[in-house]
Amino acid sequence: MHTQQTRRRRLLAAFTSCALVLAGLGLYAPARAAAAPAGASSPAKPSAPAASARPATPDAPAAPEAPTQASDMLPIVFVHGYLGSGAQYRTQAMRFASNGWPAERIRAIDYAGTSAPGLDAFIDQVRQEFGVSQVYVAAHSLGTAIMLGYLLNPTQSGKVRAYAALDGVGALCIWGTRCTSISASSMSQSHVEASTSAESFRRQFQHFVGRAPTTSNVVAEPADQVRIAGRALDFTTNAAAQGATGQVWEVNNTTGHRVGTTPVATFNVGADGNFGPIRVNGTRRYEIAIARSGVPTVHYYYQPFTRTSLVLRLQTLAAGSPIVANTNRGPNHSVAVALRYREWWSTGNTRDTLQVSTSSPAGNQPATNVLSQLTSNAICGIHLHDNTATPRQTSLAALSYFSSQPFQTGIDVYMPASPTQPLGTITFVNAPRGDTARQQRIAVPNWPSTNDASLVEFNDYVQ
């Protein structure tokens, strides 16, 4: 018996090592909805019903919150994938809260590279904070390989009541944790979308709690009760943007320009990267500006925060960043990144459109679908700026550095600007998966890119 147990543990250890190597190389993560599920489902017998593999029915209209049983509302910990952050779980956190889950009980760890050495301490910290012995965990992509190794340790596994592996290495639980695997292909979705979609949420909720959620929508809170909080981090390394300063401004819905002369809130980023909570109005729009020495100020623009969001991630630039080095900046044009944690689809029958136009004393540019030349459905972040090869023209040519980066691309788009301050407006209009009846629109000032850049983040859902 001892020999058999030893052999079994060696095999499991070998499997874990292989999975972690594959994860580090990015070989396990399907980038298309057609990819087969990675890994195998858990052999453990769950004590509550597992999520169905059948695609869920479309969302019903938003309903009032129906509180979940308090005993079911264990804290949830999210473990992101390669080049990801806790931001990928922001929508799911709001969906759980829309079903009565306290927003403070949904946490996300941020790590760099292919390992998360602080995961166990993070889970212990969450357990201690809320006075519980166990948590729920959802992990995506590379995070599933990290969780595979974590749950093979019986002591660590005992801290996790239920675990959902989202489109990565299949869940394998042998010490009593209830496990399920949710693949993108089973939902006809793409890789990142499998962590953020309403269908994925329904399966996670069912697995954690043992029943279907009351709603899969993000239910709006009373406008005066909305709070935002999160972390300011270096992009790719997820190191805290220590020393950065932040401002939160209300902005005009039509132009994106600031309302008034005083920010709604200011903050300094410390060693932990945390900021907030900050009270905002759920019917208005806001800009968050992050300033750091030696790099452009980044201005973040969102759709209205209709519900409290405590896992915001402001991914900033650091001195020496290759993003800064490969971005053509200057006084006469703007620089922007269009971001959505649901891949931009540019091929197939349900492709997205993203129209970008500029209205400015420095010159106007008509609306152009910047996705029209893309041939990939695996892009989340789109870098937009004027290419030095074709100055003051929108050629839609690929920007070489950005087009070689995972989950990103770069496109030559000319957005005119005035040299000293933003005097015009750049308008971004997205028809998600071609749905022109529910377009998403974000307007931003045309900041001259010598010292400023804009990040425009669209919701990864429509309702």
In a domain, residue 347? The reply is: yes
Q: Residue 447 belongs to what domain range? A: 326-463
Q: Are 110 and 233 in contact (CB under 8 A)?
A: yes
Q: Looking at residue 372, which CATH number applies to its domain?
A: 2.60.40.2200
Residue 61 lies in a domain: no
Residues 376-426 pLDDT 10s? 999 999 999 999 999 999 999 999 999 999 999 999 999 999 999 999 999
Do 358 and 455 lie in one domain? The reply is yes
In a domain, 123, yes or no: yes
Report pTM. 0.86
**pLDDT by residue (tens digit) across 315-331?**
998 888 999 999 999 99
Task: Say whether pLDDT at 294 is over 80.
Answer: yes
Do 74 and 186 lie in a common domain?
A: yes
Domain count, the chain: 3
Q: What amino acid occupies position 9?
A: R
Cα distance between residue 199 and residue 204, in whole Å: 9
The greatest distance separating any two alpha carbons of the chain, rounded to the nearest whole angstrom, comes to 81
Last-in-domain residue among 267, 285, 313: 313
Residue 215 lies in a domain: no
Residues 93, 19 share a domain: yes
CATH number for the domain spanning 289: value is 2.60.40.2190
The answer to whether residue 457 is domain-embedded is: yes
Helices 198-209 and 90-98, packing angle to 10 deg? 60
Same domain, 233 and 285: yes
230 and 196 fall within a common domain: no
> Which among 258, 280, 313 is the end of a domain?
313
Mean pLDDT of 203-230: 98
Residue 434 confidence (pLDDT): 95
Query: Domain boundary at 154, 176, 209, which?
Result: 209
- Statement to judge: residues 25 and 123 lie in one domain: yes
- At residue 14, does pLDDT exceed 50? no
Q: 352 in a domain, yes or no?
A: yes
Alpha-carbon gap, residue 40 to 171, rounded angstroms: 7
Judge if 353 and 302 occupy the same domain: no
What CATH number has the domain bearing residue 73?
3.40.50.1820
Q: Is 250 in the same domain as 285?
A: yes
Residue-level pLDDT at 324: 94
Residues 265 and 172 in one domain: no
Q: How many residues does the chain have?
A: 463
- pLDDT tens-digit map of 249-287: 999 999 999 999 999 999 999 999 999 999 999 999 999
